[in-house]
Amino acid sequence: MRTTRRQLMIGLAACAAWPQAVAAQDYPAHSVTILVPFAPGGGTDLLARAVAQKLEERHGKSFLIENRPGGGTGIAATATAKSAPDGYTLMQATSGTMAMNPTIFKALTYDPATELTPVALLAGVPFALLVHPSLPVHSIADLAKVAKEQSLSYGSGGVGAFHHLNAELLSSMLGIKMTHVPNKGSVPAMTDLVSGNIDVLFVDIGPSIQLIRAGKARALGISSKQRAAAAPEIPPLNDVGVPGFDTTAWQMVVAPGQTPRPILEKLNKDINAIATSDEVVKQFIAMGLDPLGKGSLDELNKFVKTETQRWAPVIKNAGLEGSQ
């Protein structure tokens, strides 16, 4: 029986895919590390730990959290990109990591398009605009007035992080200037705000809601056009003096770029199921997150490309293109 070249190529491809399929069946055979690009206690860290716990329960293997803050999430992203593409090193990436940093940074130490690959989209993350309670600022109009009369500083979770982008966008829309004081995550930045080292901070709602309700920080508004289920008392900035302001970060699990597709598909299915379970949805909402947990691998790749294109002009208009 004559074997055609096409049949031979199909056979070779099947043989090449077989070890990957077998590896996926046994995955995970040992502990998995999830890198988090911010300090412990912030929204990204809490989200990663919640998902890691459920993955441990599902697979009976440890999913270990390792915090690698700094570099606008670039330190953790670079470490993930350079790791072995075997599914045993993952990252809790942000919209900044995957869609904004390519425009903000002149030279990234990782390529999100080729060295990282999306695994699962977990949640949307609205940010609250906070000011120190000693500041005579109770509205957006007050903020604009004070910022033009005196020097104000704002914090962030790192250069190029969503905290940073929101503050620059707001400054551009209000026609004000503030001094950027970068930190290594939401929690250290909130510590700076509460202690009076900075005046203003955009921060994810989850780790900040208790400070707001305790009067240790004053919320002027929320970044998304919709109120957050975890803090419905905070109005959208769009409604209280910054028309058109509508930003929401997102959280995504990613893996090194050449990770075998069967392993990626297994993780995608498992994490989507976890993120849409009733228990975890309630947990996410309590953290100040908008639960997502949807999208195939191909859909997630298209999503990241679309988000990169969407944010590029926003970053350019805010004067942040190539600023780092």
Task: Provide the 8-state DSSP code for 234.
Answer: S
Residue 183 · residue 157 · CB < 8 Å: yes
User: First and final CA of the chain: distance in angstroms?
Assistant: 63
How is the beta sheet containing 290-291 ordered, strand by strand? 63-67, 32-36, 89-94, 249-256, 116-125, 290-291
Query: Tell me, what's the pLDDT at 162?
Result: 85
Give domain 30-124+249-317's CATH architecture.
Answer: 3-Layer(aba) Sandwich (3.40)
Domain limits, the chain: 30-124+249-317, 127-239
For all residues of the chain together, what is the average pLDDT?
A: 90
Query: Tell me, what's the pLDDT at 160?
Result: 74
Residue 3 pLDDT greater than 90, yes or no = no
CA–CA distance, 69 with 151 (Å, rounded to integer): 28
Query: Tell me, what's the pLDDT at 14?
Result: 52
Burial call 225-255: b when 16+ CB within 10 Å, e when fewer: eeebebbeebebbbebbbeebebbbbbbbbb
Place of tokens 């055979």: 29
Residue 91 · residue 37 · CB < 8 Å: yes
Residue 2 pLDDT greater than 70, yes or no = no
Residue 204 · residue 38 · CB < 8 Å: no
Proportion of the chain above pLDDT 90, given as a percent? 67
- The structure tokens listed for 2 are 């004559």
Query: Tell me, what's the pLDDT at 159?
Result: 75
Residues 6+ apart with CB under 8 A from 168: 180, 318, 319, 320
What would the mean pLDDT of 8-32 be, rounded to a whole number? 70
Residue 20 pLDDT greater than 90, yes or no = no
User: Per the omega criterion (within 30 degrees of 0), is the bond before 37 cis?
Assistant: no
What would the mean pLDDT of 280-308 be, rounded to a whole number? 92
CA–CA distance, 154 with 134 (Å, rounded to integer): 15
The residue among 105, 222, 96 whose CA lies nearest residue 164 is 96
Query: Tell me, what's the pLDDT at 23?
Result: 57
Query: How do residues 120-149 score in pLDDT, each as one tens digit?
Result: 999 998 999 999 999 999 999 999 999 999
Fold designation for 127-239: D-Maltodextrin-Binding Protein; domain 2 (3.40.190)
Query: Tell me, what's the pLDDT at 1?
Result: 47
Angle at the Cα of 266 from the Cα atoms of 263 and 270, rounded to 5 degrees:
140
| Within this chain, domains 30-124+249-317 and 127-239 share the same CATH topology | yes
Query: Tell me, what's the pLDDT at 220?
Result: 98
Query: How do residues 146-200 score in pLDDT, each as one tens digit?
Result: 999 999 999 998 877 788 889 988 998 999 999 999 988 888 999 999 999 999 9
Query: How do residues 185-240 score in pLDDT, each as one tens digit?
Result: 888 999 999 999 999 999 988 888 899 999 999 999 999 999 988 889 999 999 99
Task: Provide the 8-state DSSP code for 32.
Answer: E
> Which one is predicted more confidently, 253 or 319?
253
Residue 92 pLDDT greater than 90, yes or no = yes
What would the mean pLDDT of 54-75 be, rounded to a whole number? 94
Place of tokens 């992080």: 161
What would the mean pLDDT of 277-283 be, rounded to a whole number? 93
